[in-house]
A = this chain, B = another copy of it.
Amino acid sequence: MSIEISISILITDDHFVVREGLRSILRREPDFTVVGEAANGLEAVTAHARLRPDVTIMDLRMPVCGGVEAIRRIRAADPAARILVLSNFEGDEDIHAALSAGAMGYLLKHSSGDQVTPAIRSLMLGKRWIPQEVAGHLASRERGEILSDREREIVRLLVLGEANKQIASALGITEQTVKSHVKNILAKLQVRDRTEAVTVALRRGIVHLPEV
């Protein structure tokens, strides 16, 4: 029934142990071949260009170049690239960003692990692979109020603890405008103050904590 064609796979994750775990899992499938590894987004892009794997497993949240950006570049170079995101649950925003960047599947690291293989096979059949739990959060974001570019920029500065006045001068706008934006942000995120806005934005993956 099934034709024996080897499926080449590229693993991208900044954690050695995770890469090793994936190798171990994928080894069990006779027709799977891990053709390369990458420890960050940049490596993933160059490795994909060189190896042209059938499927690329991609972590989000990596140094040097984030997973979303890597997905975008890989898909730009090869629109047929099949990319499976393997991520901690970063939040609605990350899921949406990864999928709209061109990822075909989204797996959670918490998942039991027996989903990796079927996910890859699903992608090989040209089908998406979005687990229920992930799809739910996607829907909640879809029906929800997302922040505009400007608002996301403001949130990024809120995370740094900047006052409205400082945000204003940083963006070259009036403090009044900043207050308007903050007001809209609080309403959209349904929070009471800027501090809660920050934690909600972090949990929903709208922004991330600055590195170290």
Q: Say whether B21 contacts A18, CB under 8 Å.
A: yes
A92 to chain B: closest CB distance in Å? 11
CB nearest to A16 among chain B residues: B113
- Please give the distance in Å from A80's CB to the nearest CB on chain B: 26
A interface residues, tally (CB under 8 Å): 39
Instruction: List B contacts of A109 (CB < 8 A).
Output: 15-18
Chain B minimum-CB-distance residue to A23? B24
Check: A192 CB closer than 8 A to any chain B CB.
yes
Query: Which chain B residue lies CB-closest to A193?
Result: B161
List of B residues within 8 angstroms of A113 by Cβ: 16-17, 20
- On chain B, the residues within 8 Å of A163 by CB distance are 192-193
Q: Which residue of B lies closest to A211 (CB)?
A: B203
A203/B212 in contact, CB under 8 A? yes
A191 lies within 8 A of chain B by Cβ: yes
By beta carbon, the residue of chain B nearest A27 is B24
Say whether A159 contacts B25, CB under 8 Å: no
List, in ascending order, chain B residues with CB within 8 A of A197's CB. 161
Q: Given A163-B193, A195-B194, A203-B212, are A25 and B15 neighbors across the interface (CB < 8 Å)?
A: no
Q: Is the CB of B193 within 8 A of A199?
A: no
A18 contact set on B, CB distance < 8 A:
15, 17-18, 21, 109
Whether the pair A15, B161 counts as a contact (CB closer than 8 A) is no
Question: 12 more A-B contacts (CB under 8 A) besides A17-B109, A161-B193, A194-B195?
Answer: A15-B18, A16-B109, A16-B112, A17-B21, A17-B86, A18-B18, A18-B21, A160-B196, A163-B192, A198-B198, A202-B202, A203-B210
